Structure formats: structure tokens, C-alpha cells
Amino acid sequence: MNALKHIASILEKGGGKSNIRFTGFSYIDDACGMFRLAAGVVRHAPKYVMPNFQMVLNPELFCPTYQKVMKRTFRYLATAAITAAAIAFTACNADDDFYMEPLDSASPETRADVGTDWVTVTFDDVPEDQLAGPSSYGANLYDGYTGSAPARFRTYTDKAARLFNIEYGLNEDGYGGTYNYWNGGIAVSNWNQMSNISGKTGEWWYSYENQCSVYNTASTNGANADAGHSGSNFGVVYGYTDTYSGFIACAQMSLANGVERKFDQMYVCNSSYGYGVIVHGNSFTQGSLPSKNGWFKLVVRGYKTGETAPAATDEIYLADYRNGVNTCLTTWTLFDLTNIKKQAVNRIEFDFEGSDSGAYGLNTPAYVCIDDIRISRN
């Protein structure tokens, strides 16, 4: 504080007609607030007391008599600005270091996690009333839902401050503009029911009635918290290309306004519905995948803006029981988008393939849980 007052007192000197006037101090009450320097330049400031300056331009300043005063004044102003900037960069998080919101602008509804090189979609900033509910079935993902807690979910925009908007949600059905989960899409959830709950028996925990739960054995069963890779929330992908009917209901995540960036990696885990059917089978399958030496995989395709043919494709096995392999993902697993990240794309699309397919298409439930999708900033 004393140092700031000293700088202000020097700035105030100038022969009685100073071009920079010290007007006091402002207390910044936000965790990472804002203040203004002269000429309207906006910088971030930490939760500290900051000096206020006002620029007053006088004709006399251009006289030779005042040249020395101006040089010394602006030298100290530069020092003050650099000092304030250094304080701000150490006090503010990476999300705010590089993006300056005007003082009178509204904050974004939600923000992806913005780092130095990457933007990460964590789903943890999605409001609670937009999560799948009120049960792990996710009735608010369908028309006919009349509840208010949570609200009806359709689509969502995750905002990476001053960079780009990331869009995901439910697919539109094309027959009247409704959005329903049966058309494919990405729901946001925090459910982790990995066994039957009170009042439920039989195959409930691995049925569509529990379709929004993740089967993450590293989390506490039924806690419905802290089951994501980096927090409580995660995305639940549903939908695939139906080879029987030709209907395409693949979920996707895209960047608004045709923006293209490199989709680098994500974390994936089986859903409870998917895992249970994989290891136990149900009335729609040909048995469990282990008993049939079967497999089930996620296919992700990257698309350039406006293109219908993928620019690159990556895949990961969610379950594989061939040739003595015994793999089924029950914890969050890194999925490196080795091919897709080689070029910038506008959107990624999720699809599924598996050994248990019949005349009517894929029998294994086409679900996967995703978290921490990493996208390049530039």
C-alpha cells in the first residue's frame, strides 16, 4: 500500500498542471476483479486495494517546459502498470489471465476450463438443473416431461471465454424440431448407480431405467457425486449408425460458428447399462460378450466445417474378450485421439461397433461416459 501511495504521489507531481491525477484507491471485492487505468485500459486485478488514476490532457503539456515532467511521469506510470499486471497474473487463475471482460458485461453462463494451451470440457460447470434426472433414467431428456427440478434438457453451450463456444446435447429428430435422447446425443449426469437400489430388483441397474449412470468402480456406488474423471459431472453419449434401418443417431460435440480446433484427448468409461449387458447379457443380446469372445468399441470421427466425410477417425475398445484378452473399462481411461488431433476440425461424432449385432443392428447398448475432452486453444 505504501509503495502504491508513493507511486501515486510521484504521478501527482507536475508543476501544478499534471497530466495524470491520482483519485484515490478502489477495493476490489471479487476473487478476481477488474480496475481501470488511464485512457480506459482494462486490466485484471486481485482482491486487493488498487490505485485510481485519471488522465487529464492539457495544452501546456506539449510545451518544452513540460517535456521532462511528461517523460518522468509516464516512466512511473509504466512501472505502476507493470507492477499491477504482475500482481494480477499471480492472483488470477488461468481462466482469467488472457481474457478481459468489460466492466459492465455479463459473465458467461458457463465456462470450460481454459489453460495455457488447452480448453477442457469438464461438464462440472453445467448447472444442477440441467443434469439428467430426477432419476438415473433421465426423464427430463424427453418430451412429455413436466417437472421443474431438474429442468427439461435439450442442448447446451459451454463457453471458453473469448475463444469459442462448444455445443452439445440431444439430437433434433427432424420431424418437428423436438429434442429427445432416443435420437442420440450427450446428456450431462452425476449418477453412479452400479447395483440395484431400494425397491428395484433383477436387471434394473443394467437397463435403460439406469441409462445415465457411470460404472466407475473407483467411485462410491450410489453416491452420485465425485464419479466423473475430474469432478462429479460427466457426459453420457448415446446413439449409433443403425445399419438395419439406415437411421443415423450419432451424438456429436461441435464448435460454434464454424470454428476449427484440434480435439486432442478425452477420458471414457462404460455406463452401468452398457457394462451390465456386456458381462451379463439380456433378452436382446446373444449372451454375454465374455461367453462369446466378443468385443465392443467406441468410434470417434472428426469433421471439417461443412464436410460430411470424416477427416480422421480414432477408436477405443470398451470391452474386448478375444484371443485371451479380458478387458472391460470400469474406470476412467485415457482415449488419445491420435489421428483426429493431427488437424483442426469443427466437430467430433461418436459411434459404436460390436460383435453382438444381428438383423436389426447392434445389440449391445450404444452408450459410453465421457469426461475432460481437451481441445486446443488455437
Q: What is the pLDDT of residue 243?
A: 75
Within the chain, which residue ranges are assigned CATH 2.60.120.1350? 113-376
In this model, does residue 326 exceed pLDDT 70? Answer: yes
Taking the C-alpha atoms of residue 99 and residue 44, their distance in angstroms, rounded to an integer, is 9
Taking the C-alpha atoms of residue 243 and residue 360, their distance in angstroms, rounded to an integer, is 8
In this model, does residue 46 exceed pLDDT 90? Answer: no
Q: What is the pLDDT of residue 226?
A: 97
Q: What is the pLDDT of residue 358?
A: 86
Q: Which range, of 114-118, 202-206, 350-354, averages the lowest pLDDT? A: 114-118
CATH value of 113-376 in 2.60.120.560, 1.20.1730.10, 2.60.120.1350, 3.30.70.3270: 2.60.120.1350
Give this prediction's pTM. 0.72
Question: What is the share, in percent, of the chain residues with pLDDT greater than 70?
Answer: 70
| Amino acid letter, residue 341 | K
Q: What is the mean pLDDT of residues 49-68?
A: 41
Helix pair angle (67-91, 2-12), 10° resolution:
150
From 233, 217, 245, select the one nearest 153 (Cα to Cα). 233
In this model, does residue 29 exceed pLDDT 70? Answer: no
- pLDDT tens for 161-189 read 789 999 999 999 877 679 999 999 999 99
Asked if 318 contacts 297 with a C-beta cutoff of 8 angstroms, the reply is yes
Asked if 169 contacts 204 with a C-beta cutoff of 8 angstroms, the reply is no
Q: What is the pLDDT of residue 103?
A: 29
> What are 226's three cell numbers?
465425485
Reported as a pLDDT band with limits 50, 70 and 90, residue 281 is very high
pLDDT, averaged across the chain: 79
Query: Phi, psi at residue 47, to the nearest 5°?
Result: -80, 70
In this model, does residue 219 exceed pLDDT 50? Answer: yes
From 282, 136, 133, 275, select the one nearest 211 (Cα to Cα). 136
In this model, does residue 94 exceed pLDDT 60? Answer: no
> What are 281's three cell numbers?
447379457
Q: Which range, of 40-49, 121-130, 202-211, 320-329, averages the lowest pLDDT? A: 40-49
In this model, does residue 86 exceed pLDDT 90? Answer: no
Provide the strand spans (E) within 113-258. Answer: 113-114, 118-121, 155-160, 164-169, 185-189, 234-238, 252-255
Reported as a pLDDT band with limits 50, 70 and 90, residue 8 is very low
Cβ neighbors of 159 (< 8 A, separation 6 or more) are 108, 109, 110, 111, 112, 165, 166
Q: How far is CA 60 from CA 21, 165, 284, in A?
A: 15, 49, 88
5 or 369, higher pLDDT: 369
- pLDDT tens for 118-165 read 999 999 999 999 999 999 999 999 999 999 999 999 999 999 878 999
Q: How many CB atoms lie within 10 A of CB 359?
A: 6
In this model, does residue 239 exceed pLDDT 90? Answer: yes
Tell me whether residue 324 is exposed, middle or buried, using C-beta atoms within 10 angstroms of its C-beta: 0 to 12, 13 to 18, 19 or more. Answer: exposed
Q: How far is CA 281 from CA 129, 308, 364, in A?
A: 33, 35, 8
Q: What is the mean pLDDT of residues 267-295?
A: 97
From 285, 260, 360, 279, select the one nearest 320 (Cα to Cα). 279
Taking the C-alpha atoms of residue 240 and residue 362, their distance in angstroms, rounded to an integer, is 9
Question: What is the share, in percent, of the chain residues with pLDDT greater than 90?
Answer: 63
Q: Which range, of 221-225, 240-244, 364-368, averages the lowest pLDDT? A: 240-244
In this model, does residue 267 exceed pLDDT 90? Answer: yes
In this model, does residue 214 exceed pLDDT 80? Answer: yes
Asked if 302 contacts 342 with a C-beta cutoff of 8 angstroms, the reply is no
